[in-house]
A and B are shown apart, each in its own frame.
Chain A
Amino acid sequence: MNVLNSRYGGLAVLAAIVLLLPLVLPNNYYFDVANRIAINAIVAVGLNLLIGYAGQISLGHAGFLGLGAYTSAILTSNYGWSPLAAMLVAALGVAALAFLVARPILRLKGHYLAMATLGLGMIFSIVLTNESALTGGPDGMAVPGFELLGWSPQGEAVWYWVFGALLLAAVWLALNLIDSPVGRALRAVHGSEVAAAVAGIDTTSYKVLVFVVSAVFAALVGSLSAHYTGFITPGQASFLHSVELVTMVVIGGMASTFGAVIGAALLTLLPQVLSGLEDFEMVVFGLILMTSMIFLPRGLVPSLRGWLAAKGRA
């Protein structure tokens, strides 16, 4: 069985990578990078459900991430809540908010939808920047460490296992969802909304569902990563960050869960690779965005799959 095509084959490969990677990572700095990759990958997997499978678009997803992060931060830092409770409240709050805005937003199509999600993200970002009494303003705020039933993960290596496990769980959940009646319905909405409707699919409800699910993915990750890094700034919810998230999904390959993971890895590693050329970071990032979308519009993984399939036929 072709590993690239088999669902659980891919998951097994990912699990192997997660398990074996610590053997080759020399120090904490590398663990940190790996953690950041996992963090981005989990968000990307959720966002991919929305963009790649359901065919919607969100240019404001970093807003949900930031909301999750700040809710956790504020509740634990300013009010002494337990991190787990704060995280749950953050997730529920974002779910409620996403549900509220989803119905009116998802009636829109194409560029109007893009604009509405962009606007939403910007509103979150601006509120987070301006309410400095609560959020510490543009300079951000400190976040206490995470604690669950007396256990408190400390250090990049320990967090690695937390994020690694979560990533595997997220990928497993996503793969299951896609190959199920609900998942097919989502993909049908993307393929032909009217065909889905006459087949009995309540297209708006499904779009709302996937929107809320991907928002909650982002919020949960936002909360946890806030505890991990110990410090958050409003930049987490910025338009640029939303763009980065969409890019991860699109570059890795839309409608490909593993593509989302790979896209997240690539885009997280990019600034590391470019760190010598700080002044050129923007130029290079922009160039990479443009060229990869022009020459590999379907994204890396589907293009690779297609290329391999063509070679197989030849």
Chain B
Amino acid sequence: MSELLQFLLSGLTIGAIYALAALGFTLIYNASHVINFAQGEFIMFGGMATVFLAKAGVPLILAVPLAIMVTILVGMALEKAAIETARGAQVVTLIIITIGASIFLRGVAQILWGKQFYPLAAFSGEAPIEVFGATVVPQSLWVVGVSAVIVLVLAWFFGRTLLGKAVLATAINAGAAQLIGVNTRTVLLLSFGLSAGLGAIAGALVAPITTANYEMGLMLGLKGFVAAVLGGLGVGVGAVVGGLLLGIAETLTAGYVSSAYKDAVAFVLIFVVLFFLPNGLFGKRGTERV
């Protein structure tokens, strides 16, 4: 029993990271119908920047927000340079552009920080905590806790603030939103910045657990994408549920079936889900008007 709990708890932890990544995808998809393959690199930048700021002597409490801000700037720069200039391009083209961006950012990270794995000190120590027979490291609590807070803040932002509603309006119908005075270009820029921030937080949170490396964004990003599609592309609730489900499915598979195939779980899962629910768990089934 405690073994199952152990798996569930670690699944929840990694699931929270996937959820944050998935939310990042969802935000940008909603604002622009673009899948930002560079989302994983935002996570990586957050983690790596935090590591290096900490190494330079900056206390964690400052390093993390600074790293987040740097990544937000990177995200907005990416939007300005690549996405805005390519407005109206076909889906395939946009996908390639963001894939190119992700390779570019990975290359930059490699030049700046090399290929090694870097540890990061846990936010509040390493002493494991006992929970009903399972052990949890404090960092896991940080991951799940901060993620939960973020999800709540985002829900408040989109549900209750004018700016948040403007972003939602743009997602639903950009043309109509423009007509009522929403600056859709700003919304897009904001979405990229917010996504980058989300990714960076995830990176800073997970780095103490997995160590940071210039390639860490690749798998995290891909799985975040899987989680977003699982839940239904463009649906915030779906992204969170998809992320958590994926994390738990992964750890359960690693624990009970085979740890070598842990990475395959995401991709098998997406296959299965899309087979029965072509629009994901919470995706809307629309009919095309002809």
Interface positions of A (Cβ within 8 A of B): 51, 57, 59, 104-105, 107-108, 110-112, 114-116, 118-120, 122-123, 126-127, 130, 194, 239, 243, 246-247, 250, 254, 279-290, 293-294, 297
Contact = CB atoms under 8 A, between A and B. Distances in A.
A283 B111 contact: yes
Interface in B189-239: 218, 222, 225-226, 229, 233
A286 B97 CA distance: 9
B91 interface: yes
A282 B86 contact: no
B142 interface: no
Contact of A283 (B85, B104, B278): B104
Interface string B265-287: 01110110011001110000000
Nearest to B288: A194
B86 A122 contact: no
B270 to A, nearest CB: 5
Contact of B271 (A119, A281, A283, A286): A119
Interface string B250-278: 00000000001101101110110011001
A51 B104 contact: no
A293 B100 contact: yes
| 4 A-B pairs with least C-beta separation | A286-B104, A289-B100, A282-B107, A283-B107
B279 A112 contact: yes
Contacts of B274: 104-105, 108, 112, 115-116
Interface residues of B, number: 48
B93 A280 contact: no
Contact of A51 (B86, B92, B280): B92
A116 B89 CA distance: 22
Interface of B is mostly: helix
Contacts of A294: 82, 85-86, 89, 97
Contacts of B260: 130
Contacts of A280: 107, 111
Contacts of B97: 289-290, 293-294
A241 to B, nearest CB: 13
Given A122-B264, A294-B97, A57 B92 contact: yes
Nearest to B99: A243
Contacts of B222: 118, 122, 239
